[in-house]
Amino acid sequence: MWFNFETLVPFTPTPCGIFQEKTSFLSDQQPSQLSTGAVNVVEEEVKGDVKSEFWKQPDGLGYRPCLDFSAEYTKTSLDIVKGRTRYLMVVVSGGMNQQRNQIVDAVVIARILGAALVVPILQVNVIWGDESEFSDIFDLDHFKEVLANDVRIVSSLPSTHVMTRPVEEKRTPLHASPEWIRSHYTRKLRRDGVLLLRSLDSRLSKDLPSDLQKLRCKVAFHALRFSPSILELGNKLTERMRSKGPYVALHLRMEKDVWVRTGCLPGFSHEIDEMINNERKRRPELLTSRSIMTYHERKLAGLCPLNALEVTRLLKALGAPKSARIYWAGGVPLGGKEALQPLTNEFPQFYNKDDLALPGELEPFAKKASLMAALDYIVSENSNVFMPSHGGNMGHAIQGQRAYAGHKKTITPNKRQMLQHFLNSTLYEAEFNRIILDLHRDSLGQPELRKAGRDVTKYPVPECMCNGTMSHSSI
């Protein structure tokens, strides 16, 4: 899908002309040195929209990162990083962001067991066929360096263990506690030296002792940096979006598999809705949860992704100016360009990585879904405003990263409460906008204390961030 940067009419079907327009739009910039989460609004851009309330950032209440590990943790670290007898191997699955979550927990589990962690193996994704390895996505040397005082990271098993058949454990329950992990795995590790775990998604409890929660944050926000080639291009795309002022990043979950798995309907046309229903009947195992609920019940419960029309109405109600520049992340939506028309009609400055990249820049990442997702992650994380249409691993990860970077504006759609107003055709636009704005006053990225059962890498306050009333010890 291509965009004509001259007229800002989306989906122009003449690629040759567009390459010329792209070249004029994009300056020959050197790779930027953007730090994670740093946002520099272009001060010279004072044409009214930049001063709009929409771009105003939430009050971070003085919170900043503080990973002050206890003296006991530091003392124990000396023995753990010197260990040469126990090794944990993990195989992580899913998309890039799901794998990322599992890598975070793999480090924590290795710490709990006092074992060295072999660089995680990324299972080939059966949906996208992506064979990327850890070092293709993440900076391995940086990963090892940041965690050098917490967990020993090795690229492969040493010669003393290479012939050892790893004991594969398949019975790890959901939300296992550190005590459970120690009681079930320590003896096996002592006996065999190597333990293999698969599919760590949600296997480790979200409620851990303070030091282990801080370790989670250290891995997620400091150690897991993207590889240099991904970071370089991601920063280039970010600069191209920033070059003419602030921008919004939307993570749109409108792909076919999302509609099938959520039990929801896109609502673009009767034919497409029927196709989704038929696919769901043919493969009922794809439906993720709450299968007894009807589509309408799911919709009103806030369990469905927002479609393009709903995203458009929400952005307008929250004050997004028509001239707002929008970067959209995500796969090709079901229905193609027609599915996006409500958005492109209202916000014509609408781009994705294909539109921003120069000819040939994306070729090294072609057919690598994880690398493409990493580029989306970088541009979204560095945006002035970020909004996901349907939560998910990427939305949660970026929400936590933006909170940790100073609580940058992140809109969390209040789907459960707002959809009834979307369905009320008697509301005047001004009244509708007032209601929607009021529903989201506390959903714009302000500091929010983590509650039990929630992931600290999504809600880093208070375990990983503190304000002026607390002591500070940032790593």
Task: Count CB-CB contacts under 10 A for residue 297.
Answer: 12
| Three-class SS of 80-114 | HHHCCCCEEEEEECCCHHHHHHHHHHHHHHHHHHC
pLDDT number for residue 19 = 28
Beta-carbon contacts of 163 under 8 Å, excluding residues fewer than 6 positions away, are: none
Which tens digit of pLDDT belongs to each residue from 301-327? 899 999 999 999 999 999 999 999 999
Residue whose tokens read 């002592």: 190
Q: What is the pLDDT of residue 267?
A: 84
- Between 35 and 321, the more confident residue is 321
Task: Tell me the mean pLDDT in the region 336-357.
Answer: 95
Q: What length does the chain have?
A: 475
pLDDT of residue 20: 31
pLDDT band at 51 (very low <50, low <70, confident <90, very high): low
Average pLDDT (287-308) is: 83
Tokens representing residue 236 in the block: 């280039």
Q: Which amino acid is at 69?
A: F
Residue 225 binned pLDDT confidence (cut-offs 50, 70, 90): very high
| 64-120 residue pLDDT tens | 999 999 999 999 999 999 999 999 999 999 889 999 999 999 999 999 999 999 999
Cis preceding-peptide flag for 462 (omega within 30 of 0): yes
Q: How far apart are CA 135 and CA 359, in angstroms?
A: 25
Q: Which residues of 234-254 are buried (b: 16+ CB within 10 A; e: fewer)?
A: bbbbbbbbbeebbbbbbbbbb
Q: Please, are residues 467 and 61 in contact by the beta-carbon 8 Å criterion?
A: yes
What is the three-class DSSP state of 211?
helix
CB-side exposure of 409: number of CA atoms within 13 Å? 19
**Contact criterion met (CB below 8 Å) for 181 and 212:** no
Q: Which residue has the higher pLDDT, 423 or 8?
A: 423
Whole-angstrom distance, CA of residue 75 vs CA of residue 471 = 20
Q: What residue ranges in 58-183 does DSSP mark as E strands?
A: 64-65, 87-92, 116-118, 121-122, 153-154, 167-169
> Of 377, 380, 387, nearest to 445 (Cα)?
387
Residue 236 scores a pLDDT above 60: yes
- 327, β-bridge pairs: 249, 351
> Which regions of 330-464 does DSSP assign to beta strands (E)?
350-351, 385-388
**Of the candidates 25, 46, 237, 199, which has an alpha carbon nearest to the alpha carbon of residue 109?**
199
Strand-pair category, 87-92 with 167-169: unpaired
247-260 pLDDT, tens digit each: 999 999 999 889 98
The H or E element that residue 153 is part of is strand 153-154
Note the pLDDT of residue 50: 53
